[in-house]
Chain A
């Protein structure tokens, strides 16, 4: 049973190995690449299900790479948060791959398709690595792989706008990586360790002697990962990059890539520094402030956009604000809801971006003002779009309601009633920019009340439908996931 112990390591290694051979196929037999990528994702999904079953049984998995035990070697550590993120990453990436199989030939030049799948699997593997690693420097390496991979996913379209957007994305995310690496250097200087638990114990001992350094390190981490996670004033690269990318990559970038940076940030705040430092360095108030700005600013910017994908991209900025608001509240409940929102927002945003891709596939329309009558021409796609939008606005029975309600309760619990007003205001703004699209699609006068089936391949409809069902499932049965996450939160926050 030696192989079963190596599972956390194989989970990252096998997709990386497949990426390594894929360029060869991309060069000579590029029709094989989608199947290879699908195979790698299915393999990763099976392994992460096995790991999650073990973690759900109450066992935390740790693997020391190469047999070098933690203070020296790289440790891979899987707890409830990592298990949940692994399931989310592999599961959603599987459906996005299924979608991209038919939609990609319309969006990117055919010779690039093989490379696109290579970058996709590379990004997926590095994202999984980021969530499971327990080593600061390994985190940095994985962050850089995700940065390069996701820039590649944007630039694959080969157009003017996407090239320019990906350069801006690359510049700013390299700036962020620089801050991250400097923060890691500070921590290494003070503690002499790179492994999370060891750094944490050492910081408890010596942290009080270096108050200024702690503050500097904390803010370097916040800026470094905040740029990548598109926290509000640092979001300027996001709308261009996410809206000019091919639709499957926008779905992955908006739904998953920004989230893994948030998870990494959460781990560093609570596992490495501990909640007290988070509180004492005033980082908590900064994050609350920026989250409030993001919730309002992102929604306002989204409101004035006319391009559908740009509107969705700005909406991501606002939703990132919700997640950070949950962290900033700093209560068990708040963090739990923020983690739940990571999952729900991934489902919603992937559903919305894939529907936008399907609309573009069938009709070539991109503007939000050109949606009239689409509800009858593409009933399945628009139904999924409607479900995800209602969830974004926060209508009961859908996933978004749970987190909005939860965050409102959490801010009342933490004696911050102003945030309830902000949440309601942001929800109203969401309604103001999603409902006109739906209204147009179903109720414009002159449209014939006659349903046609979508003229979109069924491999593109299935992912959209499953994401929409996921949103509804989360809205009705969030309990088991919340319980699973609570075990993680309680371990670090007591």
Chain B
């Protein structure tokens, strides 16, 4: 029974794995661009989790349509809206981080973190 519950809820696991991978990339990668990619992977994992929370199997998009049969299930729109905001936030963080990395490249001529620490 436990295993079947795990199988049904697989999106949660994938989101957790993505989150951990992203964290690992931020903390362990030496290339600064890869760190930024890690941020994006991490946030993608969280967004997947939000979407999975809001989703219903067999549900339709929450737009009222008279052509649909009675008793059809609509998915929860709120998590999708939150994800939309989250994407904007993660986009701006990514842009800002990349801008700083460009500036660091002008200063040090490299984007490899240990090299930057050595040159400091």
Contacts and interface: CB of A to CB of B under 8 A. Distances in A.
Interface of A: 137, 140-141, 144, 147-148, 151-152, 155, 160-161, 163-164, 166-167, 170-171, 174-175, 177-178, 181-182, 185, 188-189
Contacts of A171: 26, 35, 39, 97
B46 A178 contact: yes
A144 B107 CA distance: 27
A103 B97 CA distance: 27
Contact of A148 (B50, B79, B96): B96
Interface in B67-115: 79, 82, 85-86, 89, 92-93, 96-97, 100-101, 103-104, 107-108
B23 A175 contact: yes
A159 to B, nearest CB: 9
A164 B120 contact: yes
B96 A163 contact: no
Nearest to B52: A189
A175 B42 contact: yes
Interface of B: 19, 22-23, 26-27, 32, 35, 39, 42-43, 46, 49-50, 53, 79, 82, 85-86, 89, 92-93, 96-97, 100-101, 103-104, 107-108, 116, 120
13 contacts: A144-B92, A148-B92, A151-B96, A163-B107, A164-B116, A166-B100, A167-B97, A174-B97, A178-B22, A178-B23, A178-B43, A181-B43, A189-B53
A155 B50 CA distance: 33
B3 to A, nearest CB: 18
Query: Secondary structure of the B side of the interface?
Result: helix
A161 B120 contact: yes
A144 B120 contact: no
Nearest to B107: A160
Contact of A182 (B39, B49, B79, B116): B49
Which 5 A-B residue pairs are closest in the complex by CB-CB distance? A189-B53, A144-B89, A167-B100, A178-B42, A160-B107
Contacts of B26: 171, 174-175
Contacts of A182: 19, 46, 49
B112 to A, nearest CB: 13
Contacts of B22: 178
B82 A137 contact: yes
Contacts of B107: 160, 163
Contact of A174 (B39, B53, B116): B39
A185 B97 CA distance: 25
B120 A160 contact: yes
Contact of A160 (B27, B42, B108): B108
A144 B46 contact: no
A147 B92 CA distance: 11
